[in-house]
Amino acid sequence: MTSITTRTGGGLRLAGLAAGCALGLAFAAPALAQDYPTEDLDWTIAFGPGGGNDIMARTMVDIIQKYDLYGEDIRVENRAGGSGAVGWGYLYSKAGDGYNISTTSGSLITTPLQADTPWSPSDFVPIALLATDDLAIMVGGESEWDTIEDFIAAAKETPPTLAGTGTVNVDFIVPTLFAEKAGFEFEYVSFNSMADMQTALLSGAVDAMVGNPGEIVGLVESGDMKALVYSGETTPPALGDVPTMDEKGWGVGVSMPRGVILAPDAPQEAVDFWIETVKKIVDTPEWDKYIETNLLTENIKYGDEFGTFLQNTQDGFEKVLRAQGAID
């Protein structure tokens, strides 16, 4: 049985014990390395609770628990701060340890581009890219702006404050490129967690925010927020009758990679185990539901193929940020 322990900000709470499952045989832990796993797993979430990174990690842990895919305990901890620098810095410090794992976002690529981190994406062992997601520009439900044209017209008069998770990352890149093409400016305000960012928008502390559909769809459906434009190819119906940036002629072509990495120089037996385990995770109905509910685009690449994807994405992000003057 696998017990799951969840930590947030250093606190612990027991999330439960794994239940038996009729599909247990089909999802038994891979037999690639008999000596792995034999220890508890430390799963780092590099951002606060409630955001896309947190949701994906906890969904994966729930699936692992349900199908008993890991024979030891799993400790999940939110290590937020510095646009992912704190969490991934912790993972980096565990080099050579096969029992430290994390989920990725665009900040894995952008944070070391603009901050003096001791690590870069290539330092970590790539396990799998699982999905990419896009962003919507959101305003409060009572906002005077009902369309993206309303927002842009007002922004040309007085630059609004726009919130995002992290500093120079995808949350910054997408609205920056969009604003450049649409001809307006804004003041970017960085937050470490989606919850804090939502509170800021709903309280009127900021004028707008960017968010992944899965993070904000409930607030759209309740009327507390409304989406004005979407950066993906097709707007999810749950966001309402909202145009895409491409449809308005201001497309940005940037998505957020969501995947799984191990600590640097993790043993090959751990790499093999996790690649095979992730293959089992994405073959479950629970994963299909997660992709559908969170309005993600499934995009699966394993091992070195994921590593190449990260490098290519880093090269593209660096080019954009330098062109924008966001990094030297």
Would you list the DSSP string of 3-56? EEEEEETTEEEEEEEPPP-TTTTTTPPP-S-TT---S-EEEEESS-TTSHHHHH
Residue-wise DSSP of 194-257: HHHHHHHHHTTSSSEEEE-HHHHHHHHHHTSEEEEEESSSS--GGG-S--BTTTTT------EE
pLDDT for 12: 32
Query: Domains of the chain (ranges plus CATH)?
Result: 3-133+256-323 (3.40.190.150), 136-239 (3.40.190.10)
pLDDT, averaged in runs of 10, over the chain (328 residues): 39 36 43 76 95 93 98 97 94 98 92 91 97 92 97 98 85 91 96 90 97 88 96 88 95 87 98 98 97 86 95 85 79
The single residue listed with the structure tokens 């995002």 is 164
Give the H or E element holding residue 140. strand 136-140
CA separation for the pair 197, 171 (Å, rounded): 12
pLDDT for 317: 82
| Greatest Cα pair distance in the chain | 65
Residue 68's SS3 state is coil
CA separation for the pair 310, 312 (Å, rounded): 6
Q: What are the strands of the beta sheet with 297-302, ordered from one edge?
A: 11-17, 3-8, 74-78, 41-45, 100-103, 256-262, 125-133, 297-302
Termini Cα distance of the chain: 51
Beta strand 208-211 with 136-140: parallel, antiparallel or unpaired? Answer: antiparallel
**Which among 192, 243, 248, 177 is positioned nearest to 78, based on CA atoms?**
192
**Which among 175, 178, 66, 51 is positioned nearest to 104, based on CA atoms?**
51
Backbone angles phi, psi at 35, to 5 degrees: -90, 5
pLDDT for 31: 41
Asked if residue 189 lies in contact with residue 198, where contact means CB atoms within 8 angstroms, the answer is no
CA separation for the pair 134, 229 (Å, rounded): 11
Residue 89 burial (CB count, 10 A): 18
Asked if residue 32 lies in contact with residue 102, where contact means CB atoms within 8 angstroms, the answer is no
pLDDT for 319: 82
**Which among 216, 246, 211 is positioned nearest to 137, based on CA atoms?**
211
pLDDT for 34: 62
pLDDT for 307: 95
Measure Cα distances from 9 to 78, 79, 150 in Å: 6, 7, 40
